[in-house]
Amino acid sequence: MGMIRLLELKDICFFRENKKILDHVNLCLESDKFYVITGPNGSGKSTLAKIIMGIEKPDSGRILFDGVDITDMSLDKRAELGFGFAFQQPVCFKGITVYDLLNVAKGKKITKEEACNILSKVGLCALEYVDREINKTLSGGELKRIEIATIIAKNPKFAIFDEPEAGIDLWSFKNLIRVFKDVRSSLSGTTLVISHQERILNIADMIILMESGKIAKMDTKDHFMTGFFSGKKCCLGGDMDE
């Protein structure tokens, strides 16, 4: 049986201030797979994620989702189609509680018990967090896990996480890895993570390497890790210390 193409990028180019950030990117992603895009800083990883989500628009090329051309489709419309996006820096919402946010993500009213079950999946004590306001009293690691909880609540067909390890401490990072292992086994759709952390790469079904705005390599995790790292520490930025 051939692969079921969920997302296709066809000849995507993107410029900023006369600089080519993405250079004729072609990519096919299958349904129900866990992908990680990695590469040096400035290689175009986050820009590609934002173009897939509709936050940025390509200067040329086409994007197909489930066979539908979504190149000019708005962020809201893509969300309705089943896209979910977690930012590098989670957004704070004054006056909005974690429970409120999970209701919005789910798209309907859920019970406190359902909200608590979702929070437990990201390693948060539900009774402590369900009524907390989303503000700066929460740590970076807490905000990241709450944002991942919203993705779990939404259960999108295509979930995107842009450098989820950015700005969090080692304890939160170790918990984040456990969360992503659970996400990989529990979410029914396709997951795309932008990261250079070796432990996150180790969870992937497929790893995509970007260099200078191009797809330089795409392979299974086992082949990629054996051929690229050869037993050495990740040269794309290193992993967090034990």
| pLDDT for position 234 | 46
Res. 122: pLDDT tops 90: no
Question: CB 187: neighbour CB atoms within 10 A?
Answer: 19
| pLDDT for position 169 | 79
Nearest 10 degrees: Cα torsion 93, 94, 97, 102: -20
Q: What are the two backbone dihedrals, phi and then psi, of residue 55, each rounded to the nearest 5 degrees?
A: -70, -35
Measured distance CA(81)–CA(28) in Å, rounded: 18
pLDDT tier, 233 (very low <50, low <70, confident <90, very high otherwise): very low
Give 175-186 pLDDT, tens digit per residue: 888 888 887 877
Please name the residue ranges forming H helices in 19-66.
45-53
- So where are the chain's domains? 5-229
Top pLDDT among 120 and 60 is at: 60
Measured distance CA(200)–CA(130) in Å, rounded: 27
pTM of the model as a whole: 0.87
| pLDDT for position 231 | 47
Burial degree of 230 (CB within 10 A; 0-12, 13-18, 19+): exposed
pLDDT tier, 235 (very low <50, low <70, confident <90, very high otherwise): very low
Q: 139: which DSSP letter?
A: -
Measured distance CA(21)–CA(34) in Å, rounded: 25
161 membership: H or E segment, kind and range: strand 158-162
Q: DSSP string of 179-234? A: HHHHHHHH--SEEEEE---HHHHTT-SEEEEEETTEEEEEEEHHHHHHHHHTTSPP
Give 52-101 pLDDT, tens digit per residue: 999 999 999 999 999 999 999 999 999 999 999 887 666 777 789 999 99
In 3-state terms the chain splits into helix, strand, coil percentages (rounded to 5) of: 35, 25, 40
CATH topology for the 5-229 domain: Rossmann fold (3.40.50)
| pLDDT for position 90 | 62
| pLDDT for position 225 | 81
Q: Which amino acid is at 191?
A: T
| pLDDT for position 109 | 92
